[in-house]
Amino acid sequence: MKTFIFCLLVFGVSGIGKRTANHPNPGGVSILSVDPAASTINWKAEKTTGTHLGTVMLLSGKLTMHCGRLATGTIMIDMKTLNVTDLSGSDKKKLENNLKGDNFFDTEKFPLARVNIISVNHQSEAARHFITILADVTLHGTTRQIVFTADVTKSTVTDFIAQANIDINRRDFNIATDNIKYDTFINNGIHFHVLLTAVEVKPQITSL
């Protein structure tokens, strides 16, 4: 009943009985926990001689839902899990060690990356399931603001599933800029494809 009344108040602010694509669906305020096992991050980086592919794992995260729609959130990424998938054997290990080293992501010094969702525009969600997200990304000790579009598969007070293609400029985060060879022959853009799944965490009930 409280969540229903909450959403009636939300609707009432912009006009009683009027509903547009910018207004949330009924459901109140809920906090969802990111499910790392059901979420993935794939990356692609290009250089003059080819392309490398890989993955990195989400560590944790919380999403705040307003009436079943994403409002804000924080997502933590474990940079030490950085993995190369297009190579094998010693070549794979060599590149992984290099990417984790101080020439690139320096994961010993910066083991975590953070995405703070600041605001979400839902204007296109009703027709095309797309939302536009404004977020602060902290990577390699540097924070930059980015805007990206996410394709929402499911969005309720208890579940959220979406995927997004996110491109960043490595120079904005001072990645591979101190080595002339890397800075010259590696493209500036790093591409990420993110699948994010979050669910409601039900309280544990224990017997006395």
For residue 204, name the pLDDT band (cuts at 50, 70, 90). low
Residue 28 has what pLDDT?
A: 87
Amino acid found at 147:
V
Residue-level pLDDT at 100: 98
Which tens digits make up the pLDDT trace of 124-164? 888 889 999 999 999 999 999 999 999 999 999 999 999 99
pLDDT of residue 206: 60
Contact 145, 129 (CB under 8 A): no
Q: Which secondary-structure segment (H or E) carries 7? A: helix 2-13
The number of beta carbons lying within 10 Å of the beta carbon of residue 208 is 2
Residue 208's pLDDT is: 56
- The H or E element that residue 47 is part of is strand 40-47
Rounded Cα distance between 118 and 105, Å, is: 24
First to last CA, the chain: 30
Query: Which pLDDT belongs to residue 207?
Result: 58
Residue in this structure with the two tokens 């993110």, named with its chain if needed: 194
Q: Mean pLDDT over residues 91-119, rounded?
A: 97
- Please tell me the predicted confidence (pLDDT) of residue 39: 98
pTM for the whole thing? 0.85
SS3 label, residue 118: strand
pLDDT at 13: 38
Cβ 174 vs Cβ 142: under 8 Å: yes
> Could you tell me the domains of the chain?
25-200 (2.40.128.110)
